[in-house]
Each structure stands twice: as C-alpha cells, then as structure tokens.
Amino acid sequence: MGGRSATAKRVQARPAVRIGFIGGGNMATAMIKGFVVAGLYRPEQIVVSDVDAGKRAALARRLKVAATGDNDAVVRAAPVLVLAVKPQIMESVLAELRAGLTPRHLVVSIAAGWPTARLERGLGGGARVVRVMPNTPALLGKGMAVAVRGQHATAADERLVLRLLRTVGRARAVADERLLDAVTGLSGSGPAYVYLFAEALIAGGIAAGLAPDAAHELALQTITGAAAMLQESGDSPAQLRAAVTSPNGTTLAGLTEMERLGFSAAVQAGVAAATRRAEELGRE
C-alpha cells in the first residue's frame, strides 16, 4: 500500500491511538461503533486502513476516526490490530504487517478459514494472536462471537477481546480451536439459515392466500417474537414448542408435515456441511 503519505504521517503523530483496523468494511464499522458507544475507546483513539479511498473518507466523516491507505501507519500507531480483510488477501496483508510487528502488538483476526498457527506463521512466528468467529447481526449490536487464543496470546489478551466483542452482542471463548469450525457452521452461517426459513414462511403464507406484505409482516414479527421468547422466557426450545402445540391442533399438523419432509434432519445436515467446509478452508 505504498510509502508514507501525509495521511500516514498524521496517523503516526496522532496521540493516544489504542486500536487499529486493517480493513474498514461492515464488520469493522460495526465494531468501531460498538466500542465508541460502550465508551471503551474514543474516536481519536481508533485508526483504520483501507485500500478504498471513498470508504476511508466515509469512515473519517461518519465515525470521526483516522483513516489511511497505509497499513504500516496503523501498525506503528496501534498496539491492538484487528484484521478485518477478506481471507483471500490475508496472506499478502500478513506479509506487509510482519516487519512492523513487535511484542507489544495484539492481533485479532475475524477472517474465516485462517487458524491461529497460520496467522502466527504469516506474522513471523511469535505474534500474540486471538482468532474470532463473529456473525453479521453484530451490525445491529446483536452478534454472537467466539474467540480462541493462539499459543503466544495471554489470558489477559483473551479477556480484552471478549470485552471488545461484547460491545456488539454476546461473546464467549473456547480453548480448542477445532471447535471454531462448528461455531462457523452454527452461528457464523446460522443467520442465513434463519433468513431461508423466513423466506419459506413468507412463501407459505402467500401460497395460503395472504397478500405478500401481510405474509412478510407476519413472518418477521413471528420470528422476532419467538426469538425473544427463547432469550427471555427461561424455557428451553422444546418446552416452548410444546406449549404452542395442542393435541390434534393446527401447530401439530404443521410440525408433523415439516418433520415428515425432514425439517430437523435438514437443518442439522446443513450445520454439519458448513462445519466440514470450514474445516476444508482451514486446511487450504
């Protein structure tokens, strides 16, 4: 990303920078907003690099953070680095960051398919790395993220990352990195499963005679309300399902037909397939 520009020099001179983002896409934007709203960082303590000049201008204008096209400037300025780039370009980004990395740096990766050992090798071998699998509801502060630390990261590093992630939803840590593949299959890909269910629910309502706008409203509010019941009632999914299912009633008729066509088995098979693909991406 070139030599030092005037912007890069300003970034380097910027006081009290505490966290930097390599990549300024939707997930990075959501995290920055969460950090600021939670009071963890002020905008002037955050710096972002991105290859897209328009995106840099928008970040600076809307979020009041420093934005640059120079990754090296971010490394020099920030002790905590969040890698928010596409997995396909991660290798070149790691090579670019390697020379400026020091033991003071903590590197947090939200890229799918890049295990901590591979990240550590790309950064020179001794880097403190925490890998995170987030999901897109973080854009609304409703995300679910799971973190695992590499061999050089500390328990304090993990606590910091969990604190950051909880500004955009819920977060937990796992000790076994292999579990992140299952996390990817369930919560990483899971929003798409819910969206597919919503599409099918809407289509079912339309086929039964509802107007499209009515089917859309009914389906989305039903899913929203059911999710709230799952979160807030204290009952298990099985208990809540049983409470709605009267003997010989309409709900039982619907559930029986769904199960006859393999609904539960299909969902479980989908999670398993996504998990296998996550494992393949890690090996690739």
> Residue 5: what pLDDT?
52
> Residue 112: what pLDDT?
86
Q: What is the pLDDT of residues 48-71, one digit of tens each?
A: 999 999 999 999 999 999 999 999
Q: What is the dihedral of CA 232, 235, 240, 246, to 10 degrees?
A: -130
pLDDT band at 3 (very low <50, low <70, confident <90, very high): very low
- Contact (Cβ atoms closer than 8 angstroms) between residue 150 and residue 129: yes
Whether the pLDDT of residue 1 is over 50: the answer is no
Sign of the Cα pseudo-torsion (273, 93, 167, 7, in order): negative
Average pLDDT value over all residues in the chain: 93
Q: Alpha-carbon distance 190 to 184, whole Å?
A: 8
Whether the pLDDT of residue 198 is over 70: the answer is yes
How far is CA 167 from its chain centroid?
12
Scan for tokens 């999670």, then name that residue. 271
Whether the pLDDT of residue 7 is over 70: the answer is no
User: For the chain, how far is it from start to end, CA to CA, in angstroms?
Assistant: 26
- Contact (Cβ atoms closer than 8 angstroms) between residue 51 and residue 21: no
Q: What is the pLDDT of residues 123-162, one digit of tens each?
A: 998 999 999 999 999 999 999 999 999 999 999 999 999 9
Count CA atoms within 13 Å of residue 29 on its CB side. 17
> Residue 125: what pLDDT?
85
> What is the model's pTM?
0.87
Phi, psi (degrees; rounded to nearest 5) at 190:
-55, -40
Q: Alpha-carbon distance 131 to 177, whole Å?
A: 9
Q: Alpha-carbon distance 280 to 275, whole Å?
A: 9
Amino acid sitting at position 120: E
pLDDT band at 195 (very low <50, low <70, confident <90, very high): very high
Phi, psi (degrees; rounded to nearest 5) at 241:
-60, -45
Whether the pLDDT of residue 280 is over 70: the answer is yes
- Contact (Cβ atoms closer than 8 angstroms) between residue 165 and residue 187: no
Q: What is the pLDDT of residues 200-219, one digit of tens each?
A: 999 999 999 999 999 999 99
Concatenating the DSSP letter of every residue in 214-237 gives: HHHHHHHHHHHHHHHHHHHS---H
Q: What is the pLDDT of residues 89-106, one digit of tens each?
A: 999 999 999 999 999 999
> Residue 162: what pLDDT?
97
> Residue 13: what pLDDT?
44
Sheet with 106-109, side-by-side order of all strands:
66-68, 46-49, 19-22, 80-83, 106-109, 128-133, 143-149, 169-173
pLDDT band at 8 (very low <50, low <70, confident <90, very high): low
All structural domains of the chain, each given as residue ranges with its CATH number in brackets, are 6-177 (3.40.50.720), 190-283 (1.10.3730.10)
